[in-house]
Amino acid sequence: MSQEQVYSDAGFGQPVPRGTRPAIVVVDFSYGFTDTQYPTASDASAQMAKTRRICDIARDKGFPVIFSTIAFHLGELDTLPWLRKAAGMRALVEGSRLVEIDAATGIQPNDPIVVKKGASSFFGSTLAALLTGAKTDTLVVCGATTSGCVRATVVDAVQSGFNVLVPRDCCADRAAAPHEANLYDMNQKYADVTDAADIAAWLDSLA
């Protein structure tokens, strides 16, 4: 039996309904994850360009565009368990360039930035409140990394009551295998994995 048949027989991979009040969440396209002079980063230039296009359309339509970044206080570096496992992220310190959103995303002054200490953009942040306040029904999740903070955000988004779309060409990772595996799994269980062109066309179709 094929892998696709196994998942289909289990009832996974059903299509996600799309509402009329979307929001874009751009996960951790900060310099620490996009500027390859830093060891925590990967080349996300192509993904940021496609993300910028859909963010521009969303703003023009009056829909929220929200960014997230990881930023640690110096006093947290020796006590947070995540930083024992992922020690390279100790460099993501408040006030440093690494935690600033990459200008290549086209971020605008009115775009909210939620600061987080963990993988999910929802955990310990104001993201859920911002989306609820905007009456969001469908969330488009872009960013880095696909297998880490993007996936965690997607899982929390669907558990928080949002329909979720993930444009694969707007997500970056350090290696192809975890990128592809996590896109496959998200598409089966939590979100519709699509692409930037599809998201742009859908946004353009909304009043």
Which of the residues 55, 142, 149, 170 is marked catalytic? 149
CATH number at residue 179: 3.40.50.850
pLDDT band at 207 (very low <50, low <70, confident <90, very high): confident
Q: What is the pLDDT of residue 9?
A: 76
**% of the chain residues with pLDDT over 90:** 93
* Predicted confidence (pLDDT) per residue in 75-92, tens digit: 999 999 999 999 999 999
Catalytic status, residue 149: yes
Q: What is the pLDDT of residue 1?
A: 81
- Domain membership flag for residue 48: yes
Report the candidate in 160, 146, 157 with the shortest Cα–Cα distance to residue 191: 157
Count of domains observed in the chain: 1
Res 26 pLDDT > 90: yes
Q: Looking at this protein, which amino acid is placed at residue 109?
A: P
- Domain membership flag for residue 161: yes
Q: Which structure tokens are listed for 126?
A: 């104001």
Instruction: Report the C-alpha gap between 47 and 171 in whole angstroms.
Output: 6
pTM tops 0.85: yes
Q: Which structure tokens are listed for 149?
A: 């903070």
Instruction: Report the C-alpha gap between 99 and 72 in whole angstroms.
Output: 9
Using the 8-state DSSP alphabet, how is residue 106 labeled? -
Report the candidate in 111, 175, 123, 168 with the shortest Cα–Cα distance to residue 149: 123
Structural domain range at position 196: 19-205
Is 193 within 8 Å of 183 (Cβ atoms)? Answer: yes
Q: Residue 38 CA to chain centroid, in angstroms? A: 20
- Domain membership flag for residue 73: yes
Longest dimension (CA), the chain: 53
- Domain membership flag for residue 9: no
HSE of 73, CA atoms in CB hemisphere, 13 A: 3
